[in-house]
Structure 1
Amino acid sequence: MSEYQDLSQQIQTLAQADDDQHQVALLGEMVENGLDEGSLALILEAFPVDDRVRLWRSLPMEMHIDVLTEMRADVRVSVIKALSEAELKLTLANLDNLSLIEWEDSLPDEIVSEALRLISRDELELYDQANEFEDDEIGHWADRKLFTLPFGISVTRALALIDKYHLESPQYIYLITKARKFRGVVAYSDILQAERSTPIKELKKDELVLINARQSLSDAVEALEHADLPMVPVVSDDDTLVGAVDWQFALSTQRELYEARLMAGTGMDEGDDLFAPVVRSSKRRGVWLGINLLTAILASVTIGLFEDVISQVVALAVLMPIVASMGGIAGSQTLTLMVRAMALNQVTTGNRIALMKNELGIGAINGVVWALIIGGVAGLWFQSPMIGYTISLAIVVNIITAALFGVLIPIILDRLKLDPALAGSVILTTVTDVVGFFAFLGTASLVML
């Protein structure tokens, strides 16, 4: 059984609890059985706001911050807005720098200012260091709470320092100079097994993957994919150790990117709450419905230009959805391929023409094959070879057009600094509808009347 199936059962169990007290007790049992903060966040997101806040309050205090951080932005805000003034101050005072970085974009400015006033001096210093980098640079998100040791000491001295700071078996230790220049990573297990007189620098990992703090989040995720260790050190231009990112960060980032693109296709945000206020959600979605209405009107106007031919040949009205659907599907395939490739930085000025030729070739082959099939079926269905020829031509034109614009639209949107996943599908659907209807009805008006 998958993790998500387990969560579904746990949500169902909580939803069917006899009363609020029983529900809280069941959640407490889940926590005792080792349910992690990420899973708890997903569970709480599945409940209306009042129930969500009550269940969050019932969690152990030490889990409050981490559960909120794991929540989507709108869900987190819904909990924070429900807190009393005392609860809010206590929560903000316990924030660490990474959580505040995660929260700040979704919180009102006054709450962020209050958090900066209440968090500890050490966390504030780390937060300020993170803000030396842009939001899309990995240095902004790197974990700076690393255990470091001087590069030139022995294993004996290293063990003494680890014992002095009461660390509980750190998995990896970062070697630096007095000026914090990065010199390598050592596994704690290797230190325990080494001779006590061995210089610690001899234990460092070879061929370690590093990432520059100014590089993008996608670069960091890619670096982790090729790393032998479950973490990647992040360094500045002069090799100063900034922090590190691990595989959990990579998975979280990939998930957020996937959800962002999935939701963007319908004009929504990955941080949207399942139980967001009705009026606010209506406004957000209404804008997207308005945009789609405009594109639908454009397609309808195209159809209206050929009202006479449609009224005389009823078969055209029956077959029009086929033309639009075939173009839409073909275009969506190309668009999806392009959006994924652009997200992975695989589309460049050097391969755009070759990529377009390839997609046009695919479109031409599929267009001809399906045009013959659909044209033959339509001709037999309506006992009219001319209808078969007409729809065949429209299918070929529309599928090739879909392939062409499936490549061009995301490239153009990217140049305009717009997200291809957000607007690409709407524009492409409009293009394929208009071109398909025009080709189909225009050809029919020429050859059938």
Structure 2
Amino acid sequence: MAEPLPDLIEELVSDAQNEDPAAVLTTLASEDDVSIATVLESLPVELRISTWEGLPRDRKIDVLVEMRSDPREILIDATPDTEWALMFADIEAESLLELMDSLPSRLMDLAFKALDEQQQAFFREATQFTDSEIGHWISHEQLALPINAKVRDALRLIRRNVPSHSDTIFLTNRSGQFSAAVKLTKVFGAPEHVPLVELTIENMPVLKVTDDTTVASLQLQRSGFASLPVVDDNNKLMGRLDVTSASELVNENYERQVMASAGMDEDEDLFSPVAKSARNRALWLGINLLTAFLASWFIGMFEGTLQQVVALAVLMPVVASMGGIAGSQTLTLIVRGLALGQVTKANFRALMMKELKVGGLNGVIWAIIIGIVASVWFSSAALGIVICLAILVNIVSAALAGVFLPVLLDKLKIDPALSGSVILTTVTDIVGFVAFLGLGTLFLL
């Protein structure tokens, strides 16, 4: 049984520190490709390269496929040119598609030549689509038969080979167009002379090559099938999407959104060079600085109030923080809904009203609690009322912004996961500060 990742990393680092490379490779020998890839990404660069050099050559391509781009490119650069011809000996089109953005042109040419004619055709076909279209990621390993085939033909096909995650046989007409599908469970036990068309599934979902990868993957996950057929605009069967590929695509999309919410690239290496990491993160730090100056400018408008009522300065972070948290909760919910295709014009109004009610309820509850605390803390009922009203206004406005902002950004073709949180924080800070200091000016001076 494979070791848990933290224990495996600790063992490898310990072996490396003891200068025992044989022990490092022995530890990894029983791990699968995904585990080895994850471990390599978790190691400091020098140890990563030395471990990579000791891996069996016939496993290296499969391990590279499972890695993120940044750490993968470090290993590609560290591999001598003389190694690649042997490493590419058994490469397939699907693996080359995964690696194409990381390999330099000279290695791409070498890898493409290593493909057989059929695999080259599959590769050329896939590259006609962007990596956001499902046609880029389809598998050509499938069970397919003519529409006039019988059960005996299906049994003969199954005996030859059943690709992983295959629970159906696709039936095509003479032009190669998808016609129907038959569950393997229907084939077993049926008389051999029965035409397969009599056992077909009703209303099986069919994917188009131009479908969005995440949408298509989620459709497969919900379908109850292990794979779905993928067709072109003429309904010609091009391949299939299986549940493993779908899960990987959904996970990658989720990771992309999580990293984008912090203004970062999902492919960033844990141990990427300091200068590169700093450069990648500098842009969003700069954007955040501009929004912080904007919020500070609004605060500066109430400089006189702050000088006379110092308690307002003490309590300002409370107002901003409550609005920021409330807004981020709504924003996260809406961003997820947009990614899953659940937020539309039809339900937008109802969704907005629901979030306003949630914001209003939470606003009233926490405004009262914070107002009481502030009143007791500073012995001022008026200050308690001021912060109570400011908290209510900020939480409700945060809920409203959390719904509107991601939808608006999505309409403008801007990734709401990437920029939504920065804009939302600015909105809640400004609304909170203006409401709190404005009310303070009216009631406390």
Query: Scaled by the length of structure 1, what TM-score is found?
Result: 0.90
Equivalent position to 2:278, from 271, 275, 282: 282
Q: CA deviation at 1:426?
A: 0.7
Q: Which residue of 1 aligns with 2:28?
A: 27
Q: CA deviation at 1:327?
A: 0.5
Q: Using the alignment, how far apart are the partners of 1:186 and 1:50 within structure 2?
A: 52
Equivalent position to 1:14, from 12, 16, 19: 12
Residue 267 of structure 1 contacts residue 288 of structure 1 at CA under 8 Å; is this kept in 2? Answer: yes
Q: Which residue of 1 aligns with 2:249?
A: 253
SS at match of 2:86: helix
CA-to-partner distance for each residue in 1:356-383, whole Å, 9 max, x for gaps? Answer: 2222222222222221221121111111
Q: CA deviation at 1:420?
A: 0.5
Residue 402 of structure 1 contacts residue 432 of structure 1 at CA under 8 Å; is this kept in 2? Answer: yes
SS at match of 2:262: coil
Q: CA deviation at 1:68?
A: 1.0
CA-to-partner distance for each residue in 1:301-356, whole Å, 9 max, x for gaps? Answer: 22222222212222111111110011001111111111011111122223223322
Q: Using the alignment, how far apart are the partners of 2:192 and 2:360 within structure 1?
A: 70
Q: Using the alignment, how far apart are the partners of 1:303 and 1:316 within structure 2?
A: 11
Q: 1:297-376, aligned counterparts within 5 Å?
A: 297-376=293-372
Q: CA deviation at 1:243?
A: 0.7
Counterpart of 1:183, as a letter, is S
Q: Which residue of 2 aligns with 1:140?
A: 136
Counterpart of 1:363, as a letter, is G
Q: CA deviation at 1:104?
A: 2.2
SS at match of 1:149: strand
- Aligned residues, how many? 440
Pick which of 215-224 and 256-265 moved more: 215-224
Q: CA deviation at 1:57?
A: 3.8
Equivalent position to 2:68, from 59, 72, 79: 72
Q: Which residue of 1 aligns with 2:388?
A: 392
Q: Using the alignment, how far apart are the partners of 1:198 and 1:61 within structure 2?
A: 48
Pick which of 273-282 and 43-52 moved more: 43-52
Counterpart of 2:413, as a letter, is K
Counterpart of 2:13, as a letter, is A
Residue 93 of structure 1 contacts residue 120 of structure 1 at CA under 8 Å; is this kept in 2? Answer: no
Structure 1, unpaired ranges of 5+: none
Decide whether aligned partners of structure 1 residues 360 and 93 sit closer, same or farther in structure 2, where only a CA change above 3 A counts: same
Q: 1:2-401, aligned counterparts within 5 Å?
A: 6-17=4-15, 18=18, 19-28=20-29, 30=30, 35-92=31-88, 94-159=90-155, 167=161, 171=166, 172-186=168-182, 191=187, 193-401=189-397
Decide whether aligned partners of structure 1 residues 296 and 161 sit closer, same or farther in structure 2, where only a CA change above 3 A counts: closer
Q: Using the alignment, how far apart are the partners of 2:191 and 2:242 within structure 1?
A: 29
Decide whether aligned partners of structure 1 residues 21 and 443 sit closer, same or farther in structure 2, where only a CA change above 3 A counts: same
Pick which of 138-147 and 405-414 moved more: 138-147
Counterpart of 1:322, as a letter, is V
Identity of aligned residues (%): 45
SS at match of 1:237: coil
RMSD: 2.5
Residue 363 of structure 1 contacts residue 403 of structure 1 at CA under 8 Å; is this kept in 2? Answer: yes
Q: Using the alignment, how far apart are the partners of 1:169 and 1:221 within structure 2?
A: 19
Note if 1:435 corresponds to 2:441: no
Decide whether aligned partners of structure 1 residues 331 and 192 sit closer, same or farther in structure 2, where only a CA change above 3 A counts: closer
Q: Using the alignment, how far apart are the partners of 2:198 and 2:121 within structure 1?
A: 33
Residue 223 of structure 1 contacts residue 232 of structure 1 at CA under 8 Å; is this kept in 2? Answer: no
Q: Using the alignment, how far apart are the partners of 2:162 and 2:221 within structure 1?
A: 28
CA-to-partner distance for each residue in 1:395-434, whole Å, 9 max, x for gaps? Answer: 1111111111111211221122111011111111111111
Kindly report structure 1 stretches of 4+ aligned residues shifted beyond 6 Å: none
Q: Using the alignment, how far apart are the partners of 2:443 and 2:104 within structure 1?
A: 63
Residue 224 of structure 1 contacts residue 232 of structure 1 at CA under 8 Å; is this kept in 2? Answer: yes
Q: Using the alignment, how far apart are the partners of 1:414 and 1:295 within structure 2?
A: 21
Query: Scaled by the length of structure 2, what TM-score is found?
Result: 0.91
